[in-house]
């Protein structure tokens, strides 16, 4: 998976991330949901009733996202699902991105999906 530090500017990172998400384009929502529920690091924390390590820290959203999701193997599935279901209204920390970064990614992601579907998502 691409990482922000691999790029000179954040916009290039978002484009590369949208390209990576292309491989999830044909995966049904319920399959993505199963992946996130089964493999998501935060799901494990919550189902084990432990207090997340990051609670109470004075972190920016971007730092918080990076910390919560750093080792999660479901990041791409999580991102794909959130972009599909919440779109530009996405809030909180999902897929290792802050909501501001995810909204920026959404515009890139949507343009790629619309071009894939000939100008519009159905
Ligand atoms: S990417 Fe982050 S928010 Fe999504 S399932 Fe993994 S830990 Fe949870």
pLDDT tens-digit map of 26-35: 999 999 999 9
Residue 39 CA: nearest ligand 1 atom is 5
Domain ranges of the chain: 4-116
d(CA 112, CA 100): 19
d(CA 14, CA 99): 13
Please report the pLDDT score of residue 59 as a whole number: 67
Measuring from each residue's beta carbon to the nearest atom of ligand 1, which residues come in under 6 Å?
Answer: 36, 40-42, 68-69, 72, 74-75, 78, 94-96
Question: Residue 118 C-alpha to ligand 1 middle, in angstroms?
Answer: 31
Exposed/middle/buried for residue 56 (C-beta within 10 Å: 0-12, 13-18, 19+): exposed
Query: What tokens were used for 31?
Result: 């399959």
Residue 95 CA: nearest ligand 1 atom is 1
Element (H, E) at 50: none
This prediction has a pTM of 0.84
Residues near 68 by beta carbon (within 8 Å), at least 6 away in sequence: 41, 42, 52, 54, 93, 96
Question: Residue 12 C-alpha to ligand 1 middle, in angstroms?
Answer: 22
Please report the pLDDT score of residue 104 as a whole number: 96
**Could you say which residues of the chain have pLDDT below 70?**
44-59, 119-122
d(CA 82, CA 13): 18
Please report the pLDDT score of residue 51 as a whole number: 47
């Amino acid at each position: 998976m691409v990482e922000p530090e691999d790029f000179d500017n954040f916009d290039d990172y978002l484009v590369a991330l949208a390209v990576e998400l292309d491989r999830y384009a044909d995966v049904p929502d319920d399959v993505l949901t199963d992946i996130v529920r089964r493999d998501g690091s935060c799901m494990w924390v919550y189902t084990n009733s432990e207090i997340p390590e990051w609670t109470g820290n004075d972190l920016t959203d971007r730092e918080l996202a990076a910390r919560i999701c750093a080792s999660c193997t479901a990041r791409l599935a999580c991102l794909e699902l959130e972009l599909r279901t919440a779109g530009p209204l996405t809030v909180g920390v999902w897929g290792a991105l802050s909501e501001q970064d995810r909204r920026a990614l959404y515009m890139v992601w949507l343009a790629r999906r619309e071009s894939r579907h000939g100008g519009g998502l159905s």
